[in-house]
Amino acid sequence: MNIVKAKSDKTTTKEAVEEIKSIFGNFEPRMVLFFASSNYESEKISAEMKATFPSSDIIGCSTAGEITSGEMLKNSVVAMAFNSDVLNNVKIEIVEGISDGVDISDAMNSFESFYGKKMTEMDYKKYLGMVLIDGLTCAEESLMENIGNKTNVFFVGGSAGDDLKFEATHVCANGKSYSDAAVLALMDVKSGFDIIKTQSFKVLDKVLVATKVNESSREILEFNNEPAAVAYAKALDVPVDELSSHFMSNPLGLMIDDEPYVRSPQAVEGSSVKFYCSILEGMELSLLESANIIEETANALQQKVEEFGEISGLVNFNCILRTLNLESDGKSKEYAEIFNDIPTTGFSTYGEQYLGHINQTATMIIFK
Amino acid sequence: MAGKIKKMIEHIISKKSGNDSTLASSLNAKLCLQGVIPKKYDASSPDDPVIIGKLQTIAAEWGVSLAGV
């Protein structure tokens, strides 16, 4: 096996990392990825992971729930290790101070210097980026736009969580822990990989145009030249005071190639609606209706299994809103079991990254 | 005048993707996420200076020359 996964629910950081190490056994990781409940102190677990796997590159973050093959967990740590038959190389960079403006130029220069290639010339079939970002910065859109402007390489990932406390989220790299930061890992993948973006919504025929927005606060003041909450409620044919109870099942989608890039509403504020990701003025958004997460995720995965033959490892960045939806429907176990036969690690995120920043989606990386 | 936006979009995507269909699709998505929806523009679309300005900025960011477009 070239990819192995592990989990631990030991309460002390030291014991949890020791358990992960014992599960990995003699495996020699080129890179270790870990996702840990915010109950573990971020600085401690990052340092402990590096001390335990000193010759590996290590990245991770805090979560709003952890995922491993066949299980959706709480208050635990999950990890995945990749050996050099999967990764020819990996380079990790930290982008700090992102809430004051994202500047990725140093990170991109470092990647270019490390790989001896310009970011614009890197082959997207050979190189793969992973991005973990502090989930409370509202900087995801800017980060992803900056990355997308600089390279054709796909960067996939998620926003760190803190078990729904919304106080502090952390990203980790090589023994250190960071807030107000993003960790970027650029991998030279030897074995082949692919990306899944899946969301479970039916697209309705009602469209809301964002006619007045406050982009930086992710707030929509008007849809269709009406107060946003009024227009949204009208589209759903519900009273305004019931609007927020429909948020989970009826988010909006920016339609690209007949596929929604989901924008999830967070709260009604006066007559405005605040979202979990930004919406640009003039954007036309389709009203969505929730569908079957289990069925659509299983289908998306099955399609890749058929293309790949066998999947060596899967990293799942699953939106916390999907996790909550599954929990309220009593379907968490059924969801986790989709990944029973595939070495899987992942976490419940505060946002998903693929080409841009999206919500109520699972972005996944699969390795051959 | 009309049709310039469609030409600019096609030029940018073609140059940046090297006519690779996966890249062309991802670049189309990136444009949409930045507020330019390629499918909205055809040969008769008015030359909206706001969208043209946005495309000029994106082209510069992506390292694509718009000379002659």
pLDDT in tens, A310-334: 899 999 999 999 999 999 999 999 9
Question: In the prediction, which pLDDT does A309 show?
Answer: 86
Q: Do B37 and A284 touch (CB under 8 A)?
A: yes
Q: Do B33 and A124 touch (CB under 8 A)?
A: no
Of A149, A152, A356, the CB nearest to B23: A152
> Tokens 């390292």 sit at which residue?
B63
- The answer for residues whose C-beta is within 8 angstroms of residue A50's C-beta and 6 or more apart is A58, A174, A175
> Tokens 């058929």 sit at which residue?
A306
Give Cα A139 distance to the centre of its chain.
14
DSSP letter assigned to residue A18: H
CB A323 within 8 A of CB A350: no
Task: For residue A124, list chain B residues with Cβ-Cβ distance below 8 A.
Answer: 22-23
> Tokens 């960067």 sit at which residue?
A155
Statement: residue B55 has pLDDT above 90: yes
Rounded to whole angstroms, how far apart are CA atoms A185 and A30? 13
Of A149, A256, A355, the CB nearest to B62: A149
Is B44 part of a structural domain of the chain? yes
For residue A203, the tally of other CB atoms under 10 A from its CB is 16
Mean pLDDT of A59-73: 98
Is B20 part of a structural domain of the chain? yes
Rounded to whole angstroms, how far apart are CA atoms A358 and A264? 8
**Residue in B with minimal Cα distance to A282:** B35
CB A29 within 8 A of CB A16: no
Question: In the prediction, which pLDDT does A180 show?
Answer: 98
Question: In the prediction, which pLDDT does B45 show?
Answer: 96
Instruction: For residue range A285-317, list pLDDT tens digits in order.
Output: 999 999 999 999 999 999 999 998 889 999 999
CB A365 within 8 A of CB A130: yes
State the distance between the two ends of chain B, measured CA to CA, in whole angstroms: 14
User: Nearest 5°: phi and psi at A24?
Assistant: -65, -25
Best residue in B13, B31, B32, B41 to probe A by mutation, most A CBs within 10 Å? B32
Q: Is A190 helix (H, G, I), strand (E, B) or coil?
A: coil
List b or e across A224-252, with b for residues whose CB sees 16 or more CB atoms inside 10 angstroms.
bebbbbbbbbbbbeeebeebbebbbebbb
Tokens of A260: 């929604």
Q: Do A356 and B30 touch (CB under 8 A)?
A: yes
CB A161 within 8 A of CB A320: yes
Task: For residue B33, list chain A residues with Cβ-Cβ distance below 8 A.
Answer: 145, 148, 254, 256, 261, 355-356
Q: What is the ipTM of this complex?
A: 0.94
Task: For residue A356, list chain B residues with Cβ-Cβ distance below 8 A.
Answer: 29-30, 33
Mean pLDDT of A189-202: 96
What percent of chain A shows pLDDT beyond 70? 100
Q: How confident is the model at residue A104 (pLDDT cuts 50, 70, 90)?
A: very high
Is B68 part of a structural domain of the chain? no
Distances (CA, A) of B22 to A120, A193, A243, B17: 15, 14, 38, 8
Q: How confident is the model at residue B1 (pLDDT cuts 50, 70, 90)?
A: confident
Is B50 part of a structural domain of the chain? yes
Is B69 part of a structural domain of the chain? no
Is B15 part of a structural domain of the chain? yes
Is B49 part of a structural domain of the chain? yes
Rounded to whole angstroms, how far apart are CA atoms A251 and A264? 5
Statement: residue B68 has pLDDT above 90: no
**Residue in B with minimal Cα distance to A119:** B62
- Domain count for chain B, please give it: 1
Rounded to whole angstroms, how far apart are CA atoms A246 and A250? 6
Statement: residue A262 has pLDDT above 90: yes
CB B5 within 8 A of CB B41: yes
Domain hosting residue B14, numbered range: 4-62
Is B30 part of a structural domain of the chain? yes
